[in-house]
Every structure is written in structure tokens, then in C-alpha cells.
Amino acid sequence: MFIQQLELTHFRNYEKAEVAFSKGINVFLGENAQGKTNLMEAIYVLAMARSHRTANDKELIQWNEEFARISGRVQKKHSSFPLDITISRKGKKAKFNHLEQKKLSAYIGNLNVILFAPEDLSLVKGAPNVRRKFIDMELGQISPVYLHHLVEYQHILKQRNQYLKQLAMRKATDLTFLEVLTEQLAISGAAVLKERFSFAKQLETWAQPIHQEISKQREELMIDYACSIVLTDPEDKEAIYTDLLNVYQDNQKRELDQGTTIAGPHRDDLKFFVNEKNVQTYGSQGQQRTTALSIKLAEISLMHELTGEYPVLLLDDVLSELDDNRQTHLLTAIQNKVQTFLTTTSLDGVKKNLLDAPKVFNIDQGNIETESE
Amino acid sequence: MQYPEPISKLMDSYMKLPGIGAKTAARLAFFTIDMDEEDVTDFAKSLISAKRDLHYCSICGNITESDPCDICRDKDRDRSTILVVEDVKDVMALERVREYHGLYHVLHGILSPIEGTGPEDINIPSLLKRLQSEEVQEVILATNASAEGEATATYLSRLIRPAGIKVTRLAHGLSVGSDIEYADEITLLKAVEGRREI
Ligand SMILES: Nc1ncnc2c1ncn2[C@@H]1O[C@H](COP(=O)(O)OP(=O)(O)O)[C@@H](O)[C@H]1O
Ligand SMILES: [Mg+2]
Ligand SMILES: [Zn+2]
């Protein structure tokens, strides 16, 4: 799939902008603080109905304006449709093909994006919540059903934690109601876990050969979904449900003391191993970079396999961070297949011969100018 | 400049209504001043009589002018089924359909710890009492399809089933006249889960 055109109104430092993109590589060239990342963010928001930089939608509205609007047209193999996001102080509206989608889970997934920014190195190095968010974002784009279960899980978790707190403070006493909440949590928890396990497996399958190639056959990558509970069979939803219930049973006394749900998908992690050593703790910076890159490239193939379309790739300031060998891998992998947006302050450090006829846009204080070849 | 006191007082009253903030309240207040005196008097009277003349039925919790309500007193209704709903508006909606001829029970809320609503805070005890004294054979749980609606329904069925009473849940899924191809995935998922034999 690819984005044909994009129109911005009062988005960050863009007063008004309209651009037509190339199916191949698009380069946003400009000094610092001119609006390159803002443009990437706009594309991300168009796909995910939320920003990757902030949880507060209102920050996206241009200062002193009432609303921000992003619209674009997406072309897929067999269809073409407009997407439209409007953010006002009151909230946001997401339209697919001119129709407002009340449930974001029905909107997300129409445009698939993969974003790679320097902070993605923290995917390997950072705290577990970074990796949980990574799974949720990627899986959520591919599977609306996953997104539904996840939202439901988080919601029920909030209810259950609140009720545990009330029980702990003796403001509530009804254990039958706790049991009902526990079962509800286990139902959506089981659905979430099953999909996460299979996602981690598939990701590993795709990332392994890529990592091997980038490391010149020296390294073998393994990905493990580190579940906070022991599962008898991660492929069987019923079995996961039973396992979850047993764990909640065992934890009940402690949960009633602490007033919170101790174990479950909200406490899980993703672990990466290179040659059987945990990259997070023992990997060199180079290995961590290779791992992050292999995972991003694997995602492209995985999405293609699961949805039949290649996602759109957003590379924010990463190309210059990668050495020649890694750049070559990245650029060869996407060539002629994946619509790519990349930002840079200069084309000097970039392997030009691999940038196949890029369309260059000069970004200057919220203005976009198409460079004539 | 500050608002004249009668205006502020009226605004304060409007702001007690759901979804009305200071801006809307000011607009409504100034609009009220420009209304005919007669209309304003009618308005005030309706407000007071709605509050004074309406009560909740002591049996089912429905809103009514006389206690028990018309439905509970109606000898022609089927006393063996009770349909449980979250609020009075749901009773009105179901009555408009004219297909259901049993009795109702209004919970006046739904179980939601984050909203501070636990089992003690909604109209459950009087339901359990009805199940002892009346010749009830079936309870239909018609709470919404939200997570809270499901939790409330499951909780109630835990309490009711041991008494040997049949408990059923209203079906959720595709709305009538909707095309499968246009339904979102979640609705389809629920529809498939709730499928029945024909
Ligand atoms: N809501 C907003 N309204 C107007 N300008 C904004 C808003 N948010 C950020 N900016 C401006 O955008 C610029 C940063 O743009 P960014 O895309 O992050 O830069 P870069 O080109 O370095 O990636 C800064 O000048 C900042 O002041
Ligand atoms: Mg930037
Ligand atoms: Zn009644």
C-alpha cells in the first residue's frame, strides 16, 4: 500500500500543506526544528489515530488554533480510499472512506505503518513496557480483534484493580463479584496472550535470517515471549484461560493485601537473545542495533504475509545512525516494494546509489517544497 | 463583569444537568430570559411535577405516578418472567416493541468499581426478594453488551441460578437489516459467538 497524497491543516507547525508522494522513496530534507518529525508524526497519526510522541492529542493542534486536521488518500492493490483525522479540544474524529468510525479499532489497520526512529533502539535496551507497547501497536494494526481484546483487557484490569483496592480497604466485601471480574479478566487475557505468543513466534521466524545476514552469519537471533505466568499450552486459548484462573487463585491472598492484580499480560515482556545471550544485558551496542533493525525489517515481511500488503515505512533520523553495512541491508530490503519516508538534515551520510530515484521535499519552517530533479 | 445574581443562579441550576458546562449554561440562561413568561412558568411547573409526582415503583424500580406501577399491577402480564435492565429508559424502549409481556426489574445502574458502583449500590436486594415470593420461572438479563454489562449479568446469574430459576441473556450481534460485509470485526465476532441452531 502507499499514500498518494497528504493534506495538513493547523497540524503542529504546519498552517496548511498539501503534498503528493512518490510510491518509492520520499526524503524530507531540512535543518533541525523545521517540521520533519512533525510530518512523520502526521502520517503516523493518520494510520494509528494517535501520536507516537505524545499521549495528549491536543499538543498536535497548532498553537492558538482550534483544531488540527490530517487527510490522506491511500492506494492498495485493489482499492483506494481517503482517511481523515480531525482533532479538536473536544476530542478526535476518525473517518474511513468519508464515514466516521466510532470505534478506533474499526479505523486502525486501514493504513499500516512501521516507524523506525533512534529511540527504537530502546526497544532492545528499554523497560518492558516499551516492548509491550511495540507488540500492541504492531499486532493492533494487523488484527482489529486483538485490539478489541486488548482494550477490553485493560479496561477490566482497571475495574478489577479498583475493586481489589476497595476490598483491601474493607470498603467492599463481595468475593463473588471479584470472582466474576477475575473470570472476565482471564477470558480477554487468554485471547491477548494467545495472539502475542504467535506474533513473537512469527516475528522470530522472519527476523532470524535477516539478523544472520546482517551479522554475516556470525549471530543467531532468538525471540522469546516472556510470560509472567507459566502456560501449559500457549496455542490453546482454553488452556491459557485455565492457567490464568489458577494463577489468580494462587495469588488471591496477596492480591487482596496489595489491592492490585499481580500477574498477567500487563506484566509480560519480550526477550531477545543473540547466540543464546540476552542482548538487553549482554549485547554490544552493535548487536543491539542489528537486533532492532532485524525486528523492524521482519515486521515489514510479517505484515505483508498477514495482510497481503506491504506497510508504509517511516525512518526518522535513523539512516545516518546506521553504518554502511546496515544501511545497505535496510535499503535493499525495501527497494521497489515499500513506500518509504525518511528524514535527514543532509544527504551526505546516505548511500545515494541505493536511494532509487527519491522524491525530495525541502522542509523549511512548516513549509514543504518539492525539489525539482 | 460579573453576571447579575439571578442569571448566575439559573446558570448554576443548568450546570447540574449532564453535559452542560458554563458556556452552554450561560447561553441557556440568557435564552430563558427572552422566553414568554407563560412558557417559563410551564417549564418550571413541569420540572416540579416531574419530580414530585413521579416515584420509583417499590417492586420493580420503574418510574411511575402510582405505586406499584402499571406494569406490576397489570393482571394480564406474565408473572413468571422478569426482564432485568440497567435503567428506566430501557423499559420504555422494550415496551415500545410490544413483544414482551412479562415483568421488569430496573437496576438503576451497573456494576463498575471505577465509578464507585458495587453490588450494594444497585437495586439487587429487591430483585432477590421478588424471586423468593413470586412464582418466577425465568429471569432475562438485558444489561448492555459492555464489559460492565457482561460483568453485571454474570454476577446476577451467580446469585439467581442456585435458586433453581432459569437465567437467560439477551442476544447480541448483528443489527437487523445490516449487511455482514459492512459490520465491524468485533460485531461479527460477537455474532458468531452468539450463533444458534436453526
Ligand atoms: N503544536 C504546535 N504548534 C506550532 N508549532 C509546533 C507545535 N508543536 C511543535 N511545534 C514546532 O515544531 C518544530 C519541531 O518540529 P520537528 O518536526 O520536531 O523538527 P525536525 O525537523 O527537527 O524533526 C519546533 O519548531 C516546534 O516549535
Ligand atoms: Mg526530528
Ligand atoms: Zn413496578
CATH class entry, domain B74-197: alpha beta
- Going by their DSSP bridges, the two strands B78-85 and B63-64 should be labelled as unpaired
In chain B, whose CA is at the least distance from the CA of A147? B186
A22: left (phi > 0), else alpha (psi -120 to 50), else beta?
beta
In chain A, whose CA is at the least distance from the CA of B145? A152
Residue among B120, B150, B184 whose CB faces A103 most closely: B184
Which of A307, A326, A347 terminates a domain? The answer is A307
Task: Give the model confidence (pLDDT) of B60-79 as tens digits.
Answer: 999 999 899 999 999 999 99
Which of A260, A279, A307 terminates a domain? The answer is A307
CA-based nearest residue to A147, from A115, A113, A106 = A106
Closest atom of ligand 1 to A28 CA is: 21
**Per-residue pLDDT, B178:** 57
Which of A285, A307, A329 terminates a domain? The answer is A307
**Per-residue pLDDT, A200:** 95
A124: containing domain: 118-307
Find the CATH number of the domain harbouring A229: 1.20.1050.90
**Per-residue pLDDT, B197:** 66
**Per-residue pLDDT, B184:** 67
- Distance CA(A267)–CA(A228), nearest Å, equals 6
Both A134 and A272 in one domain: the answer is: yes
Q: Whose CA is nearest to atom 9 of ligand 1?
A: A12
Half-sphere exposure (Cβ direction) of A161: Cα atoms closer than 13 Å: 12
pLDDT of B49 above 90: no
Q: Which residues pair with B169 in a beta bridge?
A: B141
Both A296 and A370 in one domain: the answer is: no
Both A194 and A254 in one domain: the answer is: yes
Convert chain A into a string of H (helix), E (strand) and C (coil): CEEEEEEEEEECCEEEEEEECCCCEEEEECCCCCCHHHHHHHHHHHHHCCCCCCCCHHHHECCCCCEEEEEEEEECCCCEEEEEEEEECCEEEEEECCEECCCHHHHCCCCCEEEECHHHHHHHHCCHHHHHHHHHHHHHHHCHHHHHHHHHHHHHHHHHHHHHHHHHCCCCCCHHHHHHHHHHHHHHHHHHHHHHHHHHHHHHHHHHHHHHHHCCCCCCEEEEEECCCCCCCCCCHHHHHHHHHHHHHHHHHHHHHHCCCCCCHHHCEEEEEECCEEHHHHCCHHHHHHHHHHHHHHHHHHHHHHHCCCCEEEEECCHHHCCHHHHHHHHHHHCCCCCEEEEECCCCCCCHHHCCCCEEEEEECCEEEECCC
Inform me whether the C-beta atom of residue B147 falls under 8 Å from chain A C-beta atoms: yes
- Distance CA(A5)–CA(A1), nearest Å, equals 13
Arithmetic mean of pLDDT, B2-10: 88
- Distance CA(A258)–CA(A164), nearest Å, equals 8
pLDDT of B174 above 70: no
- Residues in chain B closer than 8 A to A166 (CB atoms): 113, 118
Both A57 and A90 in one domain: the answer is: yes
Check B186 against A174: CB less than 8 A apart: no
In chain B, whose CA is at the least distance from the CA of A160? B113
Distance from CA of A139 to the nearest CA of B (A): 15
Inform me whether the C-beta atom of residue A92 falls under 8 Å from chain B C-beta atoms: no
pLDDT of B193 above 90: no
Both A28 and A15 in one domain: the answer is: yes
Best A89, A150, A180, A260 member to test B by mutation, with max B CBs in 10 Å, is A180
Check B118 against A158: CB less than 8 A apart: no
Higher pLDDT residue, A54 or B188?
A54
Domain ranges of chain B: 5-53, 74-197
Both A365 and A244 in one domain: the answer is: no
Inform me whether the C-beta atom of residue A252 falls under 8 Å from chain B C-beta atoms: no
Both A81 and A135 in one domain: the answer is: no
Percentage of chain B with pLDDT > 90? 62
Confirm or deny that A15 is annotated as ligand binding. no
- Residues in chain B closer than 8 A to A156 (CB atoms): 147, 151
Both A189 and A293 in one domain: the answer is: yes
Confidence of residue B97 (pLDDT cuts 50, 70, 90): confident
Domain count, chain A: 2
Task: Tell me which fold the domain B5-53 belongs to.
Answer: Helicase, Ruva Protein; domain 3 (1.10.8)
- Residues in chain B closer than 8 A to A158 (CB atoms): 114
- CB within 6 Å of ligand 1 — which residues? A 12-13, 30, 32-38, 59, 61-63
Find the CATH number of the domain harbouring A337: 3.40.50.300
Show the low-confidence residues of chain A (pLDDT under 70).
349, 351, 353-354, 372-373
Check B151 against A181: CB less than 8 A apart: yes
Both A141 and A279 in one domain: the answer is: yes
**Per-residue pLDDT, B182:** 59
Arithmetic mean of pLDDT, B89-96: 91
